Amino acid sequence: MYQDDSTFILAIDPGANGGFAYKGGTTIFCGKNDELAQLTINRETIIVVEKVPPYVGKFIPSSAAFKLGYSYGWIVGKFANYKTHHITPQVWQKYLGIGTKGQQTTTQWKNLLKDEAIKLFPNQKRITLATADAYLLLHYALKNKLS
């Protein structure tokens, strides 16, 4: 499905429990964001980061918003010398065509996203709640030929 040897994309979900998915040539793998500091990638790698909103809402504690902003800033800084795309969750989720969270609980929505990632990347063994969004962001980037 994603066999283009010339494509190098690192997709990152900057959330507190987020992860990354990387496609380098024909290899695809993932990890949790705490592994990003040790990750070595090709200089031609395109970085795709889920854009965080400037306002997270009244139901999100300020401490959680701070951690999200800190993580996002660290990621943007680490990959400042790479071609980077910032994609909102609304954009990549709409592309998937699976609807919105709506009245579902967060757990139900996250499990739906994980199930979709498993369908799209059936050969990947480490798709978890932590890495599912990154895989879906990677899928969006590959299908939309971000460069």
Is residue 108 one of the residues assigned to a domain?
Answer: yes
| pTM as predicted | 0.91
For residue 53, give the DSSP letter.
Answer: P
- What average pLDDT score do residues 2-15 get? 84
Question: Is the distance from CB of 22 to CB of 28 less than 8 angstroms?
Answer: yes
For 131, the domain range is: 8-143
Domain with residue 15: its CATH number is 3.30.420.10
Question: Domain for residue 1, yes or no?
Answer: no
Please report whether residue 34 resides in a domain. yes
In a domain, 19, yes or no: yes
pLDDT band (50, 70, 90) for residue 59: low
Residue 3 in domain: no
Phi, psi of 138 (to 5 degrees): -60, -45
Confidence class for position 102, pLDDT limits 50, 70, 90: confident
Residue 3: the pLDDT is: 54
pLDDT (0 to 100) of residue 95: 95
Return the percentage of the chain with pLDDT > 90, whole number: 68
The structural domain count of the chain equals 1
22 belongs to a structural domain = yes
On whether residue 2 sits in a domain, the answer given is: no
Strand order in the sheet with 46-50: 27-32, 19-24, 8-12, 46-50, 84-87
Q: Is residue 65 part of a domain?
A: yes
